[in-house]
Amino acid sequence: MHIPEQLFAALGHEVRLRCLLLLQREGELCVCELTHGLDLAQPTISRHLAHLREAGWVEDHRQGLWVYYRVSSRLPAWVREVLATTAAGIVNSAPFAGDLLRLGAMPNRPGARGCA
């Protein structure tokens, strides 16, 4: 859909904004990484990811047991620019900076490194 006010409505919730910031920075993350990074219950993360998915801001693809999310590849240029500007503007403040630290310190991350 990509309706402008729906973009901001989606960003207008702390959990979704934190998720999108991590995805914008890391490129692609599975649900358990987001759950660990934000330190929230898994259903909470899944619900907000579903919200972002239905609004068209993220895409998901399953890979075995894990479902990976990333910022949608079909966004208008101005939307990508808004996301990038926002990420740069808030990445060093709470709670976003802490999310990145927690994610970086997460043990047994799945993915390319084959730790799981």
Partner DNA sequence: CCGGAATATGTGGCAAATGATATATACTGC
Partner DNA sequence: GCAGTATATATCATTTGCCACATATTCCGG
Closest approach, Cβ 15 to its own copies, in A, equals 9
Among 44, 47, 54, 88, binds its own copies (CB under 8 A): 88
The continuous run of DSSP H or E covering 4 comes out as helix 4-11
Q: Which residue has the tokens 């996301």?
A: 83
Choices 5-13, 26-34, 41-49, 106-114 (CB under 8 A): range interacting with its own copies: 5-13
Burial of 46 (C-beta count, 10 Å sphere; 0-12/13-18/19+): middle
Q: Which is nearer to DNA, 65 or 105 (CB)?
A: 65
Beta partners for 71? 58
- Nearest alpha-carbon partner for 32 in 89, 106, 112, 96: 106
Non-local CB neighbours of 23 within 8 Å, separated by 6+ positions:
29, 34, 58, 69, 70, 71
Residue 67 as a binder of DNA (CB under 7 A): the answer is yes
Among 31, 40, 90, 106, binds its own copies (CB under 8 A): 90
Which residues of the shown chain bind its own copies in the complex (CB under 8 A)?
A: 4-6, 8-14, 16-17, 76-79, 81-82, 85-86, 88-90
Which residues of the shown chain bind DNA in the complex (CB under 7 A)?
A: 9, 12-13, 15, 30-32, 35, 41-44, 46-51, 60, 62, 64-67, 116
